[in-house]
Amino acid sequence: AQKITQTQPGMFVQEKEAVTLDCTYDTSDQSYGLFWYKQPSSGEMIFLIYQGSYDEQNATEGRYSLNFQKARKSANLVISASQLGDSAMYFCAMREGLFDYGQNFVFGPGTRLSVLP
Amino acid sequence: DAGVIQSPRHEVTEMGQEVTLRCKPISGHDYLFWYRQTMMRGLELLIYFNNNVPIDDSGMPEDRFSAKMPNASFSTLKIQPSEPRDSAVYFCASRITGNTGELFFGEGSRLTVL
């Protein structure tokens, strides 16, 4: 069974607007971590933001925030004030187990975001 | 600080040839991962090491693939013999015990097997 679902293969957003990239996950573990990575056209994988399953507050990192809804098993990435440089593939990932008790990162299929001028 | 360093960035080879991909993790990181990325299968974990010891190689596709980590600052992924279906981008990533666990990726090695 697919553990990470990203239902939006492609998204468009106008520059300076906010955009939400969807991610749902499937796990029976109580302890897990959720990650978002950005992959620009140059190919490198850039870590953006992390949310632990026990974190009560949504994670934020600059213009990135993670809308974590544990009961719905969703971990949507919100990018505020989109910039042209945000155009890239975005991957949601999950690691079952926290800290050093789990190493199996599972990545979703990705969402390609295009920011329009 | 230097990030994860991979070489070569691009490799074009003919079917049947041996391919060796190299990785230098971030200094002090004690976990090292090898991933493969293709359009069809996305990002797949091949193998990971902890303190230079292979922990889980269940993602290695077949015996043609092998990985070693002779010391804390160097790892190799070898494909012998290579086949066209091995064409992919191979990523090395590392992390350190005790933090939130994010992986730090290298820039990848794009392999094309003709």
DSSP per residue, A51-94? EETT--SPPEETTEEEEEETTTTEEEEEE-S--GGG-EEEEEEE
User: According to the model, what pLDDT value does residue B101 have?
Assistant: 78
Question: Which of the residues A32, A100, A101 would you substitute to probe the B interface, choosing the one with the greatest number of B C-beta atoms within 10 Å?
Answer: A100
User: According to the model, what pLDDT value does residue A2 have?
Assistant: 59
pLDDT tier, A89 (very low <50, low <70, confident <90, very high otherwise): very high
Enter the tokens of residue A5: 């679902």
Bridge partners (DSSP) listed for residue B112: B12
**CA–CA distances in Å: residue B47 to residues B69, B81, B112:** 11, 19, 21
Flag residues of chain B having pLDDT under 50.
none
Tell me which residue in A42, A99, A109 faces B101 most closely, judged by beta carbons.
Answer: A99
How many Å apart are CA B64 and CA B80, to the nearest integer? 5
Tell me which residue in A44, A103, A108 faces B31 most closely, judged by beta carbons.
Answer: A103
How many Å apart are CA A104 and CA A77, to the nearest integer? 21
Bridge partners (DSSP) listed for residue B20: B78
User: According to the model, what pLDDT value does residue A100 have?
Assistant: 58
How many Å apart are CA A95 and CA A34, to the nearest integer? 7
pLDDT tier, A1 (very low <50, low <70, confident <90, very high otherwise): low
Over 70: is that where the pLDDT of A98 sits?
Answer: no
Phi and psi at residue B80, to the nearest 5°: -150, 115
Over 80: is that where the pLDDT of A88 sits?
Answer: yes
Inter-residue contact B101 to B9 (CB < 8 Å): no
How many Å apart are CA B11 and CA B110, to the nearest integer? 6
User: According to the model, what pLDDT value does residue B1 have?
Assistant: 62
CB contact under 8 A, B42 and A109: yes
Q: What is the mean pLDDT of chain A?
A: 92
What is the average pLDDT across A24-29?
92
Tell me which residue in A35, A44, A110 faces B102 most closely, judged by beta carbons.
Answer: A35
Query: What residue in B sits closest to A40 (Cα-Cα)?
Result: B107
**CA–CA distances in Å: residue B25 to residues A113, B28, B85, B91, B95:** 29, 8, 27, 11, 8
Whether chain B has a CB inside 8 Å of the CB on A91: the answer is yes
